[in-house]
């Protein structure tokens, strides 16, 4: 926990030396093992368990990028009855990621540990790549935000097919009022 007294803000860090003390953001660990599935689940569950422990009741939970795309799945299928989390509106920001997260097929085994039914993973289509993770997040989100100027046309088509409320790219400086209006319509 860190504190920014001037802003009256506390910052919480989710950390694990085995998962997050490496030179690359999404690359393999120093031993060459791709453990991004476990890292993503650890981070998502750690953040959500922190919210529960602190008894926060968020109105909106906004996940940014495919590393936390599993957050939408966990919120809709694992934490759906939790008193702190069940009423939150879920928003996913989609980016044209220069270094997309690479997960291995081990993800399916990792998710079995938390007793996810295969039907909950249908949007992945048996894959664990950037597009599959994005589809999963879009499927479970109450709203999707275009976080970068360009996103894959296939994902834009998927958003339109699902009918999930969508906020187009607002630019680097703009969008405060647009985001507020978007959140309020969910």
Tell me the pTM. Answer: 0.86
Q: Which helix (H) or strand (E) holds 46?
A: helix 36-53
Residue 20 lies in domain:
2-185
Residue with tokens 């479970």: 140
CATH number of domain containing 85? 3.40.50.2000
- pLDDT in the model for residue 169: 96
Per-residue model confidence as pLDDT tens for the chain (186 residues): 677 788 777 776 666 666 656 555 555 555 555 778 888 898 899 999 999 999 999 999 999 999 899 999 999 999 999 999 999 999 999 999 766 777 888 899 999 999 999 999 999 999 999 999 999 999 999 999 999 999 999 999 999 999 999 999 998 777 789 999 999 999
Instruction: Name every residue whose Cβ is closer than 8 Å to that of residue 15 and which is 6 or more positions away in sequence.
Output: none
Q: How many domains are contained in the chain?
A: 1
Q: Which DSSP letter does residue 163 get?
A: T
Question: In sequence order, what are the beta bridge partners of 145?
Answer: 93, 167
pLDDT at 105: 87
């Amino acid at each position: 926990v860190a504190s920014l007294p001037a802003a009256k803000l506390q910052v919480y860090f989710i950390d694990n030396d085995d998962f997050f003390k490496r030179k690359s953001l999404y690359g393999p660990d120093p031993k060459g093992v791709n453990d991004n599935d476990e890292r993503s689940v650890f981070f998502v569950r750690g953040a959500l368990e922190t919210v529960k422990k602190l008894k926060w009741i968020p109105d909106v939970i906004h996940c940014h990028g495919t590393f936390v795309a599993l957050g939408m799945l966990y919120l809709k299928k694992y934490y759906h009855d939790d008193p702190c989390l069940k009423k939150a509106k879920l928003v996913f920001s989609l980016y044209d990621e220069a270094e997309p997260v690479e997960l291995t097929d081990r993800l399916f085994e990792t998710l079995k540990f938390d007793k996810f039914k295969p039907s909950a993973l249908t949007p992945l289509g048996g894959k664990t790549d950037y597009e599959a993770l994005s589809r999963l997040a879009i499927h479970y989100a109450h709203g999707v935000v275009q976080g970068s100027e360009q996103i894959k046309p296939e994902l834009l088509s998927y958003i339109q097919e699902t009918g999930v409320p969508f906020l187009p790219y607002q630019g680097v400086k703009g969008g405060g009022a647009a985001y507020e209006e978007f959140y309020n319509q969910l």
